[in-house]
A = this chain, B = another copy of it.
Amino acid sequence: MKKFIVTPWEVSGDIDYDKLIKEFGTEKITDKLLKRIEKHTGELHWLLRRKIFFSHRDMNWILDNYEKKNKFFLYTGRAPSGLTHLGHLVPWIFAQWLQEKFNVEMWFQIPDDEKFLFKPKLTLEDTKHYAYDNILDIIALGFDPKKTKIFLDTEYAKVMYPLALEISKKITLSTARAVFGFKNEMNIGAIFYTSMQSVPAILPSVLKKKNIPCLIPHAIDQDAHFRVSRDVLPKLGYYKPAAIHCRFLSGLSGPHGKMSSSDPKDINTIFATDSAKTVEHKIKKYAFSGGQPTIKEHKEKGGNPDVDVSYQYLTFFEPSDKKLKKIYEDYKSGAILTSELKGICIETINKFLKEHQKKRELAKKNIEKFMLRA
């Protein structure tokens, strides 16, 4: 297994998720915890059943509070550096489900400042452009406009900057360097930025003048920021935010790492706005296969679904466990070929994207229903 790296700015290598849990000091999602969640939600989302959401911090505390009628709110984000791709949608799909099942608010941060500060070539105009494009994908997933607030860090700075100041005053340069590994060449905006990422974890508490538990569904690479939040926010009198973490959807080229919208080559990424034809072309041509070199050999030995990207995508986007199990077995036995597996994947993704793109069009009229302005 190659060495792997998981930071807010780089995800690479063969990720060992059990090792990550140890390194980051998070907790594994156990069957016991799943049962406790199911008691409230009536069913388990497939992203939970399949342990794609695999790790957490303080989920039991969130449920303790929920059971005492002390509701939490959800916070997640999208740093806008490009078009939305399938990987981005995963935590949001789950977050929308959490909102619906627990009937809670979602505070959705768009840190346009982050991407501007960390990507040398992006301007604030670029990040704002992507922000409003990405917001369409967020809205399309079905968040409740009455219970969802979306905000750009730059546009909402009148409220966020003073709160970020309060947070930043409690974070030393030492801490920031230790957590994020900043070098001397790093710009001072980027060093400050983590303060802005902590703000939404207290924002509803500040605005409503009462302490409200916060649950952050997010991909595990953002954990460093929230380790800082969990250290600092109690010093300001707020709860530590809880979190629930998902694995990465890989790029087309291989079962490891993370799909990236900044990749200059489109060949690794399926965008939320790709046409059915483009999706078909990309998966047929680029999706890494777990099949054998020849059809004959494949039928004899069977394929390896565990490294097959098309199968992996189905674990993220095919709701039916039964269907998924059959595909797994058929591919493993050699009963279905790679081309057939790719066909199933294309159909599933395109069915999802067709619906998504329809809702995305409708979202264009509804943006202001979601935006938090100051």
Contact = CB atoms under 8 A, between A and B. Distances in A.
Interface of A: 113, 116-117, 124, 153-158, 160-162, 164-166, 168-174, 176-177, 182-192, 194-195, 374
Contacts of A194: 188
- In the A-B complex, the 5 residue pairs with the closest CB atoms: A168-B189, A192-B192, A157-B161, A174-B184, A158-B158
A162 B114 CA distance: 11
A191 B188 CA distance: 7
B154 A173 contact: no
A198 to B, nearest CB: 11
11 contacts: A124-B162, A124-B166, A157-B158, A157-B162, A168-B190, A171-B189, A173-B185, A173-B186, A188-B191, A191-B191, A192-B192
B158 A187 contact: no
Contacts of A153: 161
Given A173-B188, A188-B192, A161 B154 contact: yes
Contact of A157 (B117, B157, B173): B157
Contacts of A176: 188
A184 B173 contact: yes
A177 B174 CA distance: 13
A115 to B, nearest CB: 11
A165 B374 contact: no
Contacts of A154: 161-162, 165
Nearest to A156: B158
Contacts of A169: 116-117, 187, 189-190
Contacts of A374: 158
Nearest to A157: B161
Nearest to A124: B162
A116 B174 CA distance: 20
A208 to B, nearest CB: 19
Given A161-B157, A189-B192, A173 B182 contact: yes
Contacts of A165: 113, 116-117, 124, 154, 189
Contacts of A195: 188-189
B191 A173 contact: yes
Contacts of A174: 184-185
A373 to B, nearest CB: 10
A172 B155 contact: no
Contacts of A192: 168, 188-189, 191-192
B157 A172 contact: no
Nearest to A178: B184
Q: Pick from A164, A171, A173 the residue with the most CB of B within 10 Å.
A: A173
A162 B117 CA distance: 11
Nearest to A191: B188
Given A117-B165, A124-B166, A165-B116, A171 B188 contact: yes
A164 B174 CA distance: 23
Contacts of A156: 158
A322 to B, nearest CB: 50
Nearest to A128: B162
Contacts of A117: 165, 168-169
Nearest to A176: B188
Contacts of A185: 172-174
Q: Pick from A116, A157, A174 the residue with the most CB of B within 10 Å.
A: A157
Given A116-B165, A124-B166, A191-B191, A172 B158 contact: no
A124 to B, nearest CB: 6
Contact of A171 (B166, B173, B187): B187
